[in-house]
């Protein structure tokens, strides 16, 4: 993949996604309730003082997890900007090249936070636990996808979405998205992969 949204198989979306993440009932129910991405109250979306990108580029929080962790856009522009996750546990890393890619990740692998350091078998067990705890997961996902104008049958596989996370954790994207904390030290890498590793 060359890093563009088109290369990730993401359909062009005819309208802005962020307002739908904040207001559409089916979308909010899935993203805030299942994927732990809450974009409903922008006033609550403020990063800790001093948390910033090492590059000096803009870091703009647009959503939060229930834990208080932050979903942030990198740089200037709109929903096509890279998305970084900043954990209150002192970890950060890129999740997607644009909001459409993040939406797909959350739809197919809402448990992505459990991916770092896990084997394929362990990840399958995590997914199974998620489905056991939420038997209507697929139906909720499909309703949210349709509300966003996406065909549920056209969503990527869990494996493809997680492979994309690993890909983004390496090379220039990770380097451009390096987050430093309020003391000026880089936060730990979300996926434990150094940006300069092949």
* 69-127 pLDDT, tens digit each: 999 999 999 999 999 999 988 999 999 999 999 999 999 999 998 887 777 788 888 88
Q: Furthest-apart CA pair in the chain: how many Å? A: 46
The answer to whether residue 10 scores a pLDDT higher than 60 is: no
Give the pLDDT confidence of 140-193 residue by residue, as tens digits: 999 999 999 999 999 999 989 988 988 898 878 898 999 999 888 999 988 864
Residue 50: per-residue pLDDT:
87
Residue 193: per-residue pLDDT:
45
Compute the CA torsion angle 121, 124, 125, 128 (nearest 10 deg): -160
Query: Under a CB-based contact definition with an 8 Å cutoff, are residues 21 and 39 in contact?
Result: yes
pTM over 0.95: no
For residue 16, give the DSSP letter: -
Query: Under a CB-based contact definition with an 8 Å cutoff, are residues 68 and 87 in contact?
Result: no
The answer to whether residue 195 scores a pLDDT higher than 60 is: no
Dig out the tokens for 28 from the structure: 């909010």
Give the pLDDT confidence of 40-73 residue by residue, as tens digits: 987 676 787 889 999 999 999 999 998 889 999 9
How far is residue 42's CA from residue 20's CA, in Å, rounded to a whole number? Answer: 13
How far is residue 151's CA from residue 6's CA, in Å, rounded to a whole number? Answer: 16
């Amino acid at each position: 993949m060359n890093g563009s949204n088109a290369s990730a198989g993401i359909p062009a979306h005819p309208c802005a996604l962020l307002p739908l993440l904040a207001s559409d009932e089916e979308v909010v129910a899935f993203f805030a309730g299942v994927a732990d991405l809450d974009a409903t109250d922008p006033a609550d979306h403020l990063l800790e003082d001093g948390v910033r990108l090492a590059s000096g580029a803009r870091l703009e929080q647009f959503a939060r997890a229930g834990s208080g962790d932050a979903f942030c856009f990198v740089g200037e522009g709109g929903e096509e900007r890279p998305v970084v996750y900043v954990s209150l546990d002192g970890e950060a890393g890129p999740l997607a090249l644009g909001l459409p890619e993040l939406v797909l990740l959350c739809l197919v692998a809402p448990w992505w936070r459990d991916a770092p350091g896990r084997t394929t078998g362990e990840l399958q067990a995590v997914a199974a636990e998620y489905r056991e705890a939420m038997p209507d997961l697929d139906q909720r996902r499909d309703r949210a996808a349709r509300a966003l104008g996406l065909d549920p049958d056209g969503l990527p596989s869990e494996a493809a979405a997680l492979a994309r996370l690993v890909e983004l954790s390496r090379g220039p994207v990770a380097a451009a998205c390096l987050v430093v904390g309020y003391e000026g030290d880089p936060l730990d890498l979300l996926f434990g992969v150094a940006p300069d590793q092949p």
